[in-house]
Amino acid sequence: MKTNMTAPVTGLTMGLAMSLTLVTAATAFGEDMHQHGVMISDAWSRETTPGARVGGGYLTITNHGMKDDRLVAVAAAHAGKVEVHTMTMKDDVVVMRPVENGLTIPAGDAVKLAPGGEHLMFMKLSHPHVADEPFEATLSFEHAGEKVVVFDVLSMRESMARMVDTDDHHDSTDHSKEHHNQ
């Protein structure tokens, strides 16, 4: 009686090869997520008045990586300068300051940039933010590199509704009237 050992060996070899391929792909994906696991969601801005020179930007940055990352720069074609700002109240006056040395995004956590807190400030606008006319900005991270983000531009009414819906209602001010220390 003659047995054919080729079929079981070939099947075993194919199974091992497929397993190795899946492990390699999973490892590569895992390394990518650990090294570049920054994800951006819910990017929006509110419309600005004609002639406004500043506008705000809001979004959530989630770091799925195993190490902290930092947002170190932001650029947009329609803005001469973009900064990450913090906002505080001092003697009943809104005071904004740029975040020094970048904004840390802790590993395994999310940072929400929202009205009334940390946010992006688009300055020296070449044209206003117009409702229903999205714009792009490039966010540069220390480890994750550059991410191009599309910001939806909401009307004042829509932005107020969004803040109420997401419990971000602690700021309803127009950025053009806020005091910026630089």
Question: Using one digit for the tens of pLDDT, what is the confidence trace for 155-171?
Answer: 999 988 888 776 544 44
Q: Is 128 found in the same domain as 81?
A: yes
pTM to 2 decimal places:
0.71
User: Would you say residue 61 lies in a domain?
Assistant: yes
Q: Is 121 found in the same domain as 103?
A: yes
User: Would you say residue 17 lies in a domain?
Assistant: yes
Residue, of 167 and 130, whose pLDDT is higher: 130
Q: Give the chain's mean pLDDT.
A: 81
Residue, of 20 and 46, whose pLDDT is higher: 46
Q: Is 158 found in the same domain as 145?
A: yes
Residue pair 41/139 in contact by the 8 Å Cβ criterion: no
Name the percent of the chain lying above pLDDT 90. 61
Q: Is 31 found in the same domain as 100?
A: no
pLDDT for 179 beyond 70: no
Q: Is 115 found in the same domain as 46?
A: yes
The pair of three-digit structure tokens given for residue 7, joined into one six-digit string: 């079929």
Q: Is 32 found in the same domain as 17?
A: yes
User: Would you say residue 153 lies in a domain?
Assistant: yes
Which residues lie below 8 Å from residue 153, measured CB to CB, with a gap of 6+? 44, 45, 46, 47, 129, 130, 131, 132, 133, 134, 135
For residue 29, give its domain range: 7-36
User: Would you say residue 1 lies in a domain?
Assistant: no
Q: If pLDDT is split at 50, 70 and 90, which confidence band does 135 have? A: very high
Query: DSSP string of 17-52?
Result: HHHHHHHHHHHHHHHHHHHH-EEEEEEEEE---TT-
CATH number at residue 147: 2.60.40.1890
Residue type, 93: V
